[in-house]
Structure 1
Amino acid sequence: MTTAQRSPATRWTRALSATAALAMLGIAGWLLHRYLQAMRWRDFSAAWSQLPARDIVASALAGMLSFAMLAAFEMQAVRLTAGERVSLRRAAFAGAVSNAIGNLLGFHAITTSAVRYRIYGPAGLGAGDIARIVGVAGMGVGLGFAVVIAGALCWEPAITDGWGRWPGLALVGALAAWWWWLGAAPRELALGGWTLKFPDARHAAVQMLIGAVEMTAAIAALYVLLPAGIAPPFVDFLPVYVAAVLAGLVSHAPGGLGVFETILLASFTQAQRPDLLAAILCYRLTYTLGPFVFGSVALAAFELRRRRCETRGAAA
C-alpha cells in the first residue's frame, strides 16, 4: 500500500503515534537533564568505581539467561510455524542474535525481522514465515510480561499501597481465560494474506514459564547492580523496571535510551540517583551493548561463512 492509498484513519493513527513518541522523548529529555544537572560528578564517579566485580559478573550471567530464554521462544515459534524446515540450532541462533541487535537499535519488530531474514532466508523461509515467527515469539515475550506483572501485583508491592492485588487477580483471570481459549480448539488469526497459528494450551503454558524466567532474569541483570543501601525489595522494583521498558518501547528510542533511564531515576531520591545511574550504565554494558557487540560479530561470521559456501558451490 502506497502513502497515497493509505486511509485517513491510518494516517491519523501514524501521526498521533509519532506525536506521542516525540512528546515522550521531549519530556524524558527534559527530566533527565534536570536529574543529571542536580547530580555531582564525584558522587557518580565514586559509585561507578565501587561497583563490585561479582555483581557485574552476576549481571552478565542474568543477561545470558534472559537471552537463552529468548532463544527458547524462537525455537518454539519455529517449530510451530515452520515445522522441520529449519533446525533448532539455527532458530536458537536467530532468536539470540536478532534480539541482541534489536534491543540496542530500537524499532524492535523491524530490526529483528531484518536480522531473522538474513538468517532464515538461506534456509528457504520467506517474509510470511518470518512474520509468523516474530508474532509467536513476541506473543511469548508478552505473556512473560503479563505473568511477572500479575505475580508482582498479587504479591502486593509497597508502591501499590494496597490496591495492587485486585488488578493482579484480574490479570491472572485473563491469563487463565486465554489459556482455556487456546485449549478449546486449534486457533488461527487471518491477517491480510497470511495466517498466524496460535500455540495450543500446552505450548502457551510453556511460553508463560519461559517468559517468566526471561523477564525475571532481565530485571535481575539490573537489580543485582544496585547497592544494598538503595535497593528496594525485588517485588517493588519489578513494576518500576517493567514500566521503564514499556515506555522505552513506546518512545521508539533506540534501546529506550533516555526514557528508560528517566523513569528509573524518577523512582529514586536525588541522594540515591548517583548509585542508580552507575548501576544503569553498567547494565547497559552487560545487557545491551555487550550482547549487541557479540550478536553483530556472530551475524558477520554467519554471513561470511554463508558467502564462502555459496562461492564454493558456484565454483563446483
Structure 2
Amino acid sequence: MKKWAPLLWIPMLALAGWVLADRLEAIDFHDVRQQVLAQPPTTMLLGLLFSAGVYALVGIYEGIAVRMASGRTMPLVAFRTAIISNPISRAIGLALVSGGALRYRMYAAVGLSAREVATVVVLAAMPYFFSVGWLIDLSLLLNAETAAQALRISTGTVLILGVIGLAKDIGWLTFVIRRKTPLTMGGQTLPVPTLRDTSLQLAIGLVQISLMTGILYLFMPDELNMSWPAFIAIYCIAFVAGQLSNVPAGLGVLEAALLLMLPQVPPAKLLGAVLAYRAVFEILPLLIALGLLLMFESTSSRGFLRRRLLRR
C-alpha cells in the first residue's frame, strides 16, 4: 500500500479536473482576465503585504524549529532555508518530501544531521496542522448558517461537526498538559511537545492561515457576500483538500473546491480572484525562492571548488 501512496494525487487531480471541466463550460476567460486586471493597486499591495507577513512568520518559526531540533541558533540560515523551501515545495507538491530534500541539502551544509533535519521538517508542519483545525472548527461554530449554505448541509450538522472538532482540539491541548513522558511508536521515541511549544505553534499557525485567507478574501468579488471570519472555514477546507491531494500547489483542487462551495460567486470572477491570489502568494515567492536557491548553489559550488584547489 505504501508504494502506491505517492500516486494518490492522480485520482484527486482527475476529480478536480472533472469538476473544473463541468464549471468551465460556461466561463468566458476574457472575464477572468478582466477580473484579474480590475484589482485596485491598493488591494494588490495589501495582498503582497499579507503574503510577506506569511513568509516572514514561516522564516521566523523555522529558526525556532532548528533550535528546538538541534539546540543551535542560526536564524539567518533558517530564514533563508524556509523562504527557499516553502514556495518550491508548495509548487512541486508532496511538501514533506520535497521540502525535506531541500532542507537537508541546505542544512547539511552547516552541519545538521539527517535526524535533526527530519525533526525540523515535522516541526515546520506543526503550525499548519494545529491551526487549520482550530480555524475550521471555530469558524463553523461562529458562522454556522453561512457554512451550512456553502457546505450544503444543515446548520445542526455544522454545529455538531464544529463541536466534535473543537473537542478534538481541546483534547490535544489537554494531552500535552497532562502527558509528561515521551510516546513510543514503531520502536521510535517521540517527545511530547510542551504546552509552551504547542501554544507557540498554534499562535504562529493561526496568524499564518488568517493572512493566507485574507489574501484570497481581498481579491474576491462583492458577490461573495460573506465576512472574513465566515470565509476562513471555506478557505481552510479547500486548502486542506489541495494539500491532501499532493497535487503541485493544489492546482485545480483548490479551484474546484471553491467553485463547489461558493456557487453564488460568478465562476469567472472566482477564478480571477484565485489567479490573483496565486500570483501574489505562490508565483512571486516561487521566483524569489528560485533566485535565492541559484545564489546558494552558486556560492556552494565556488566554496567546493576552492576547497578542492586548496587540498592540491
Question: What range is the shorter-chain TM-score in?
Answer: 0.7 to 0.9
Residue 180 of structure 1 contacts residue 201 of structure 1 at CA under 8 Å; is this kept in 2? no
Q: Deviations over 1:277-307 (max 9, x none)?
A: 1111111111111111111111211222223
| Residue 80 (structure 1) aligns with | 68
Pick from 139, 144, 155: which aligns with 1:162? 155
TM-aligned CA distance change 1:235 to 1:14, over 3 Å: farther
Q: Deviations over 1:194-244 (max 9, x none)?
A: 544332111111111101001101111111111234352112222221121
CA RMSD of aligned residues (A): 2.3
Residue 224 of structure 2 contacts residue 264 of structure 2 at CA under 8 Å; is this kept in 1? no
Residue 135 of structure 2 contacts residue 236 of structure 2 at CA under 8 Å; is this kept in 1? no
Q: Number of paired residues?
A: 303
| Residue 133 (structure 1) aligns with | 120
Residue 224 of structure 2 contacts residue 265 of structure 2 at CA under 8 Å; is this kept in 1? no
TM-aligned CA distance change 1:119 to 1:142, over 3 Å: same
Pick from 203, 227, 241: which aligns with 2:235? 241
| Residue 33 (structure 1) aligns with | 21
Once the two structures are superposed, the pairs formed by residues 219-298 of structure 1 within 5 Å of their partners are 219-269=213-263, 272-298=266-292
Return 5+ residue gaps in structure 2 as ranges: 149-153
**CA positional deviation for 1:315:** 4.1
| Residue 112 (structure 1) aligns with | 99
Whichever residue aligns with residue 294 of structure 1, its letter is I
Pick from 168, 171, 181: which aligns with 1:174? 168
Q: Deviations over 1:150-205 (max 9, x none)?
A: 22123134123533344334333333332232233545345557544332111111
| Residue 4 (structure 1) aligns with | none
**Separation of aligned partners in 2, 1:19 and 1:88:** 36
TM-aligned CA distance change 1:116 to 1:128, over 3 Å: same
**Separation of aligned partners in 2, 1:140 and 1:267:** 25
| Residue 199 (structure 1) aligns with | 193
**Separation of aligned partners in 2, 1:310 and 1:191:** 40
Return 5+ residue gaps in structure 1 as ranges: 1-10
| Residue 59 (structure 1) aligns with | 47
Whichever residue aligns with residue 32 of structure 1, its letter is L
Q: Deviations over 1:122-163 (max 9, x none)?
A: 111122111111112212220111221222123134123533
More displaced stretch, 202-211 vs 297-306: 297-306
**Separation of aligned partners in 1, 2:53 and 2:62:** 14
Residue 75 of structure 1 contacts residue 91 of structure 1 at CA under 8 Å; is this kept in 2? yes
Pick from 132, 146, 149: which aligns with 2:136? 149
**Separation of aligned partners in 2, 1:237 and 1:298:** 34
Quote the sequence identity (%): 26
**Separation of aligned partners in 1, 2:141 and 2:64:** 29
Q: Deviations over 1:230-272 (max 9, x none)?
A: 3521122222211211211222211111111111122233761
More displaced stretch, 188-197 vs 147-156: 188-197
Pick from 98, 105, 111: which aligns with 2:85? 98
**CA positional deviation for 1:119:** 1.1
Residue 81 of structure 1 contacts residue 197 of structure 1 at CA under 8 Å; is this kept in 2? no
TM-aligned CA distance change 1:88 to 1:193, over 3 Å: farther
- Normalized against structure 1, the TM-score is what? 0.87
- Normalized against structure 2, the TM-score is what? 0.88
**Separation of aligned partners in 1, 2:62 and 2:192:** 14
| Residue 299 (structure 2) aligns with | 305
TM-aligned CA distance change 1:117 to 1:167, over 3 Å: same
| Residue 216 (structure 1) aligns with | 210
Residue 141 of structure 2 contacts residue 163 of structure 2 at CA under 8 Å; is this kept in 1? yes
